[in-house]
Structure 1
């Protein structure tokens, strides 16, 4: 194949593709052949990889199994619900004992009113314990399938449990410790990844 006059600046030069096969201006070229320079335009780039869950360069893969900290927090919620049910039953029994003591003693109107007020406080605490027990059971059940709202509720619940344990020291030391541990386990990064995982 002849290239024509080598001194002709408008003619085809050696090492260039034939006239009709000029590379397009501004687009990346394939691998240059030996002796050729890459064309003008964008530099060569590696192939694009799809970003997303499980792909290199994308987001970290979503957890498929409940992390150990969340499992531990779930067990602690079940334990706390049992404690709260027992405490609620105990408080209702204490309310009955106060009522029996008032009925068996000589009481004035002021003493009876004070006893009724005390029974009201005990009944309120008993109902509060049972409400917290129901909330604890609900959170424990939602740990497997719940979203970020479950995580936030568990953190708030742990804060209230820790506060209740702090108020009732030394008897509330177990509740205080469990409340703090629930907050720590649920607030950790693997706990956040579990509750914020995509659901298909």
Structure 2
């Protein structure tokens, strides 16, 4: 029986040692859609994800959910904006308090003159009172200046500004408690400053990267 031309490889049929398919092991050919054993991009050798397989998890937006980082500018949270307004209000109150304190020094002198007591002890007591009032007035104006600086730094300041604002709010709260009932507004604003700056969105704002 003839098996065809022995010099023609396409004419050999049914002979032992039949040639395997192109690039495949003998007697095996891959089915449609089966893995070819080639390493996929980002996957181990011989493994590629198919349809229905879970892909990479969605990228979470950084910086507390606010648009920020490369390609975007983070918006100042509402709590931080409120803190900035509160700092301006407190600075106004403190400037007014400092002016009134300096004016009270003249009132002490008038009170001593009207009393008719011009002894050395009375004058020493009046000087001591004026010294206390002057110290309080200067301290109040210093805190007013600090409040203005913090209000200006709310937009561009970093985590150090946040810490200073929390400390400032604590001192404002303490000062309001000491001066009750007149200091109830300052006490309330100091508490709100601490709460809004210490919140997660406030922390994300002050800890955001700068580009």
**Is 1:107 aligned to residue 124 of structure 2?**
no
Does the 8 Å CA contact 2:105/2:130 hold for their aligned counterparts?
yes
TM-score by length of 2: 0.72
C-alpha RMSD over aligned residues: 3.2
**Is 1:59 aligned to residue 76 of structure 2?**
no
Query: Matched residue of 2:83: which SS?
Result: helix
**Is 1:28 aligned to residue 45 of structure 2?**
yes
Note the 1:121-200 alignment, pairs <5 A: 121-200=132-211
> Which residue of the partner structure matches residue 7 of structure 2?
none
Equivalent residue in structure 2 for 1:90, among 93, 100, 107:
100
Note the 1:36-47 alignment, pairs <5 A: 46=55
Unaligned 5+ runs, structure 1: 33-43, 50-54
Query: Matched residue of 1:198: which SS?
Result: coil
Distance 1:66 1:91 in 2: 36
What's the CA shift for 1:96?
1.3
Report how many residues are paired: 176
Unaligned 5+ runs, structure 2: 1-9, 31-35
Q: Rg: which structure is higher?
A: 2
